[in-house]
Chain A
Amino acid sequence: MLFNSISFLIFLPIVFGLYWFVFQKNLKLQNAFLLLASYVFYGWWDWRFLGLIIASSAVDYWCGLKMSTVDSQQSTENSANSTIEGPGKETGNKNLTKKQPWSMVSGLWTGKRLYLTISLTFNLGLLAFFKYFNFFIDSAADFISLLGFQPHISTLNLILPVGISFYTFQTLSYSIDVYKGKLKPTKDPIAFFTFVAFFPQLVAGPIERASNLLPQFFKKREFEYQQGSDGMKLILWGLFKKMVIADNCALVVNPIFENYQTASGLELIMGAILFAFQIYGDFSGYSDIAIGVAKLFGFDLMTNFRTPYFSRDIAEFWRRWHISLSTWFRDYVYIPLGGSRVTKVKAIRNIFIVFLVSGFWHGANWTFIAWGGIHAALFIPIFLIGKNRVHLNEGDHMIPSFKELIQMISTFTLVSVAWVFFRANSIGDALGYLIRTFSNPLFPNSFNWFGYHLRVALVIFLVLEWIGRKRSNWIEIIPLKWYRYPVYFLVAFSIMYWGVFTQKMDFIYFQF
């Protein structure tokens, strides 16, 4: 079910009404209803893949409980030991999780580590099978061909389950946090299954941490006017980003990328810039709607974007782009690898690993790995000169200085070049696109600027984004004065008037 579809327009008010008016008295029933609604939401796309979410939830729920059992057993043993060894020695949970290094292979099949291994193997196995199986087979076949042999390998006709990368990462965060002792495992299966399948963020994030979202399922929820109102505003602005900005950009971008061989340099530049806006409008629009819908049900999800195209360097960009994923990789990959508190060489290795894995997370294609690699290559020089934490806040001034403007434009340019790899069908296409940007004639025979409405919409969009750059959204900072209503009407009307309704436009991140 897409957020910008008629089916969701009918689904949301029904679920909202039943949630608040029928099931509010009983928290468990309310959670159970939310779970049912989430499964309907997901099953609308393909009910057969519900089994995967249920299996993933069940495995992690069970692993969590088992880790807790092991914990309590070990605490008992340790307290018995402490009686013998005497007081003063740190034992128990913290000792187990913090002092044992990740890389320790021995003991993989014992204690808590066993259940973490089961959780990791199951979830990453699902991902590997459904998302990467064909990629590995094809790559192996290509490699064998390169060696001069004739490979006889057949791939499987696998359908990629929507949102699999998002919900497996979400459940993994739970297992890892329980393992590390940062989180107590839940004994309420309904709450846990709902946490995994919570429909607003199920298929394209934000990837929530169990420590943030799970406790909200145990709290009695009361409808708050301000929260509901904020939710509606976010939904409205998210729809604008998706239907006016992203989808209109897509109408220009798609033909340019499909025919890049014959396009002029100017068109190729335009295609790369507009794709940057397309993917931002598409994904941050989805996140806004997800956060907004969650608010309608009394939940607060984490911010996923903070005006990333106003970043002054790549490091700042990554603090503002897809925050839920970049912080996931920081907490569960980068830091366990040693982060930056290791030798320079190891730190560079860690950065490369995180960016490459992050690229690979997006899709089973070398283009995504290249995209990750480019970002690593852009990030590492700033890291080496120690300037990766220079721009930690947005600044108070209304107009950027000339220096800042240049920094923003150059960061945006680099990001846009990297997006070409993200958007292209193959590395060859991406390189061809970039080479032709400079080798093809700069001006086409008849240059057709993209629609006037899109140009106007982009200018309005950029101005509003700039105004709201200190928050996740400008629409949240409109004063509660009478004139906010005409603003909402204008946003709603511009969606009706400029939005793309006729073509079927999926959210880009659904494929991940």
Chain B
Amino acid sequence: MKKFLVKIFFFCLISVIVYPIFIGSLGSYWLTQRRLTKNLIFNQGGNSFMWSKLHEADTTKDIDVLILGSSIALRGIDTRIFKEYGLKAFNLGSNYQTPLQTEYLLNKYLNQFSPKYVIWEVTPITFQNRGLESFIDIFSNSNIDKGALKQSVFISDIIAWNTLIISLKRQIFDEFDNYNEREIKGSTKYVQGGFVESNNLDFDDRDKLDLYSIDFLEYQKLAFEKNLNLLNQSNVKILLVQSPTTYEYNKCITNWNYINSYFESFEENELIVDYRNYNEIIPNFGKDTSYFTDKMHLNRIGAKKYTKFLIDDFIETFSY
């Protein structure tokens, strides 16, 4: 028995040591070949331009408005329009950003940005997601720190750990700095201030949608409330928003009452929070597919129109 247990122990121990070397060497090679990478996703740059965004964020200070949330915020809230209103804004939105990843980004950038306001796109599906996609998006483009390890434990997914291994390897061997991200990828363009402009004006109708209700994960709710408290402690005023998505998409979600009442509940306590569901405030917006690239995301024309409406409402709400 002793021999058996000792061998099992050493097998596990050596696996823990050798596996990162295996991923760091062979995995890295397969990544360059784009082959055999089933559980290895390393999304440097990616379609959210995270590399450029985080690099810009590292040098950005003292802004008026910080935008948080998923790709709906990333592609729907145009920071250039804020400039027209004399506001300095930064869009920290990323693909499928869940409250867990928002917590990481706030801990990293809140003091440096010291924003007066936060506009937070609270896409309902991100509250029922573990946040793997967003984790990969962020940590393929950022150095690994304690926060990253904490997140990987929460997500508990082999893909997240593999991403961390590759990221750590790049960090150790200074490989991160060799990367230069293009400003335009296909029909998308990175705009200073963290916005990603979608220039594809043809509406993509391919996604088939089924009816579903959304249940928020408890730990995402906890992270969300923690983030609100953190912002509250820094005297930041918060506008929670549901940005326009297509009418077809909205009607697939069957429990909007639950979703709205959850976010509206924060308006009643001491936090300086307002909540707007623009799908209800401007219902015709979602019916016009010329504003969208797909069922969830605005194109540049839609983003421009929506951002103007958002800023007007924002100014009125906070008497800016």
> Using a CB-CB cutoff of 8 Å, which residues 408-453 of chain A contact chain B?
451-453
Instruction: Tell whether A456 pairs with B36 under 8 Å between CB atoms, given A493-B19, A497-B23.
Output: yes
In contact, A502 and B157 (Cβ under 8 angstroms): yes
Q: Tell me if A223 is interfacial: C-beta within 8 Å of chain B.
A: yes
Q: How far is the CA of A232 from the CA of B5 in the complex (A)?
A: 11
> Using a CB-CB cutoff of 8 Å, which residues 284-304 of chain A contact chain B?
none
Q: Which residue on A lies nearest to B33, using beta carbons? A: A452
Instruction: Tell whether A497 pairs with B157 under 8 Å between CB atoms, given A223-B4, A488-B11.
Output: no
Q: How far is the CA of A223 from the CA of B15 in the complex (A)?
A: 25
What residues of B have a CB within 8 angstroms of the CB of A502 in the complex?
132, 157, 159
What residues of B have a CB within 8 angstroms of the CB of A225 in the complex?
1, 3-4
Interface size class of B (residues with CB under 8 A): 20 to 34
What residues of A have a CB within 8 angstroms of the CB of B184 in the complex?
none
Instruction: Give which listed residue, A223, A228, A485, A497, contacts B38 with CB less than 8 A.
Output: A497
Instruction: Tell whether A496 pairs with B4 under 8 Å between CB atoms, given A453-B37, A501-B157, A502-B159.
Output: no
Q: State the Cβ distance, A247 to closest chain B Cβ, in Å.
A: 11
In contact, B4 and A497 (Cβ under 8 angstroms): no
What residues of A have a CB within 8 angstroms of the CB of B3 in the complex?
225
Q: How far is the CA of A489 from the CA of B19 in the complex (A)?
A: 9
What mask results when residues 1 to 43 of chain B are scored 1 for a CB within 8 Å of chain A, else 0? 1011001100100110011001100010000000111111000
In contact, B158 and A496 (Cβ under 8 angstroms): yes
In contact, A451 and B38 (Cβ under 8 angstroms): yes
In contact, A228 and B159 (Cβ under 8 angstroms): no
What residues of B have a CB within 8 angstroms of the CB of A452 in the complex?
35-36
What residues of B have a CB within 8 angstroms of the CB of A498 in the complex?
36, 38-39
Instruction: Give which listed residue, B22, B36, B159, contacts A453 with CB less than 8 A.
Output: B36
Q: Tell me if A248 is interfacial: C-beta within 8 Å of chain B.
A: yes
| Majority-rule SS of A interface residues | helix
What residues of B have a CB within 8 angstroms of the CB of A489 in the complex?
14-15, 18
What residues of A have a CB within 8 angstroms of the CB of B35 in the complex?
452-453
Instruction: Given contacts A228-B4, A488-B11, A501-B159, list 19 more A-B pairs with CB under 8 A.
Output: A20-B1, A225-B4, A229-B4, A229-B7, A232-B8, A248-B38, A452-B36, A453-B36, A453-B37, A489-B14, A492-B15, A496-B39, A497-B22, A497-B27, A497-B162, A498-B38, A499-B158, A501-B39, A502-B157
* B positions within 8 Å CB-CB of A: 1, 3-4, 7-8, 11, 14-15, 18-19, 22-23, 27, 35-40, 132, 157-159, 162
27 contacts between A and B (CB under 8 A): A20-B1, A223-B4, A225-B1, A225-B3, A228-B1, A228-B4, A232-B8, A248-B38, A451-B38, A452-B35, A452-B36, A453-B36, A453-B37, A453-B38, A456-B36, A485-B11, A493-B22, A496-B19, A496-B39, A497-B23, A497-B38, A497-B162, A498-B36, A498-B39, A499-B39, A501-B39, A502-B157
* A positions within 8 Å CB-CB of B: 20, 223, 225, 228-229, 232, 248, 451-453, 456, 485, 488-489, 492-493, 496-499, 501-502
